[in-house]
Every structure is written in C-alpha cells, then in structure tokens.
Amino acid sequence: MNSLVFPGQGSQFIGMGKELYESKADIKEMMNSANDILGFDILDIMFNGTEEQLVQTKVTQPAVFIHSIAVAKVIENARIEMVAGHSLGEFSALVGNGVLSFESGLRLVYERALAMQEACEETPSSMAAIIGLADEVIETVCKEISTEKSLVVPANYNCPEQVVISGHTEAVKKACEILKEKNAKRIVPLSVSGAFHSPLMQHAQDRLEEAIKKTKFNTPSVPIYQNYTSNAVTNIEEIKENLIKQLTAPVNWTQIIRNMIANNCSVFIETGPGKVLQGLIRKIDNSVEVSSLSS
C-alpha cells in the first residue's frame, strides 16, 4: 500500500515552492489564492524572503502547508491508501485525503500559527531534541523535575532514541543537563519560539478549538493516522477531537509509522519541503520504501 506523509514546522527553506509555482497553472492559481486568504504576500517571503522572516511561526506554518499541498497536487492521480502528517503536517494530510479544502485548511493553519505564537510570547519556553536515550529514561527525568511552574514533557516521539522535549525554558535546560549526564549521544536545542505539544499551549488549543468547530469537515477518502492516538481514523468528529488535542499532547510519530506498516503500508512518499520524515521513517523501519518530493 502507498501513503502520503506530510512534514511539519522546521522543514522550510528560502525559495520553497517556486519551481512548483512556475510549473503548472492550477498550482500557480492555488498558491496565488493563499495571499488573498492570508491578507499578506506569503509567496514573496517563501520565494525571496529572509530566514528571519520565514522562521516566524505565523509565516512558517502556512508556508509549509502551502508547499505541501502544491506537492500533493503534482501526484494527485497516484493511488494512495492512507495519510499522516507530523504535527502541523496533519492539517496538510487532511487536505490530502479530502477532509478539508485548501482554503479551510489554510485558514485553520494560520489561526493555529497565530494562537501558538501568542502562547509562546506569554511564557519563556523552548524545545530540545534528545538523541541516543530510551524513551523511558527521558520520560522519567521529565516527570521527576517537572512542577506546575517549571514544566518539561516529551513532545515528539520522532523515531527510536530520538525524542523532543518541550516546556518552560529553565526546565528544558535542566532536563538537558541531566540527560547529558545519562549519556545522551546528542542534545539539540530547536530553533522554535516556544513549547509546542505541551500543556503550555492550552490557550492556543482553546482558540483553535473554536475555529475547528466552525469549519466544514468532509468524509475522508482514505484513513488518516493522527498524532494524538497514532491510529487510523475516518470518523469526522473523532478527527476533529484529535486535531484539537494535538496542540497540548505529544506527536506519536514512531507509533504512527509502525501502525501504518502493520496495516500493510510499504511505500511512504514525503509530500512537502525537506526530507526530515524520510530519514525518521528509515530509522523506524528500514525495510519500507521511502521517497521525498520537494521543490
């Protein structure tokens, strides 16, 4: 079986989508409509902007989404049996399987980005990738040092021995020091503006919930494996609920890929900027076929 997997924030690059924009009239028309939907010239930032402009959450998230859907249109005649998306990529996946229109998806993504940026500005917070330790070790350290006012939690289970932690800046720093002492191979602070996929995103989740409840969701053409449960979902109300809970809960990417493979997926096509997911999937199971479409 074939699947599409959609990347999240962090896979953006200057010039993203320019080749696609120039390649097909329908893609150009769709991408031009994004400027009208958002009320600013996001294409100019994507094609010609600076890194500083592109890494702003309110720009990054819609930019990655726009690029991902443009790539999906190139391969829309391919036979696809399931989809998944990493964090933000879940919204792209929901356009990919027909649950959301491009316009509805982009509006939700922009609302999500604004809400997350606002939440980031409320509280000094950060994220860091921990490489080379078992999940249980990271979970235990986070649990032992966390308090209500100094919180750190596992946020992304990306692949075996790669977990991202998220929380208050000082708590993340303390956890990194302890995990280094426990022989983590590498600790990589992430260049994001706050504590995504943690309880510190609660205000953002509340704001996104309102927007999701006002948006039309269609019956999916194929199942989506969602971040919150890691299971295949086709029920619209369940999809909505999982999408809301995603902001404060961890991304269970390792389990998503394992579940897709268990359900006979053997081909994963990364649909969007970069090749991050391709690398993660190979680390989860190197027996499957993975490829990446990015331009």
Tell me 40's DSSP state. Answer: S
Residues 42 and 102 in one domain: yes
- CA dihedral (116, 59, 55, 16) positive or negative: positive
Residues 102 and 231 in one domain: yes
Mean pLDDT on 94-104:
97
Q: Contact at 8 Å (CB) between 43 and 31?
A: yes
Across 15-39, b (16+ Cβ under 10 Å) vs e yields ebbbebbeeeeebeebbeebeeebe
Catalytic machinery residues: 87, 197
Shortest CA distance to 270 belongs to which of 47, 33, 92, 16? 92
Residues 116 and 27 in one domain: yes
Q: How confident is the model at residue 11 (pLDDT cuts 50, 70, 90)?
A: confident
Residues 130 and 78 in one domain: no
**Is residue 9 one of the residues assigned to a domain?**
yes
Mean pLDDT on 144-149:
94
Q: How far apart are the first and last CA of the chain?
A: 25
Residues 96 and 242 in one domain: yes
Shortest CA distance to 199 belongs to which of 248, 245, 144? 248
Tell me 238's DSSP state. Answer: H
Domain end marker among 189, 219, 246: 189
Mean pLDDT on 193-216:
95
Mean pLDDT on 70-76:
87
Percent of the chain with pLDDT over 70: 99
Q: How confident is the model at residue 120 (pLDDT cuts 50, 70, 90)?
A: confident
Mean pLDDT on 115-125:
90
Q: According to the model, what pLDDT value does residue 232 have?
A: 98
Q: Could you tell me the CATH number of the domain that includes residue 264?
A: 3.40.366.10
**Is residue 137 one of the residues assigned to a domain?**
yes
**Is residue 194 one of the residues assigned to a domain?**
no
Residues 227 and 145 in one domain: no
Residues 16 and 148 in one domain: no
Domain end marker among 189, 210, 228: 189
Mean pLDDT on 28-55:
96
Q: Which residues pair with 152 in a beta bridge?
A: 167
Q: Could you tell me the CATH number of the domain that includes residue 129?
A: 3.30.70.250
Percent of the chain with pLDDT over 90: 88
Q: According to the model, what pLDDT value does residue 35 have?
A: 96
Tell me 165's DSSP state. Answer: E
d(CA 246, CA 88): 9
Q: Where would I find the beta strands (DSSP E) of the chain?
A: 2-6, 82-85, 125-131, 152-159, 162-168, 186-189, 224-225, 232-233, 267-271, 289-293
Q: How confident is the model at residue 226 (pLDDT cuts 50, 70, 90)?
A: very high
Q: How many domains in the chain?
A: 2
**Enclosing domain of residue 20:** 2-120+199-293
Mean pLDDT on 264-276:
94
Phi, psi of 176 (to 5 degrees): -60, -40
Across 120-124, 126-130, 180-184, 235-239, least confident range: 120-124
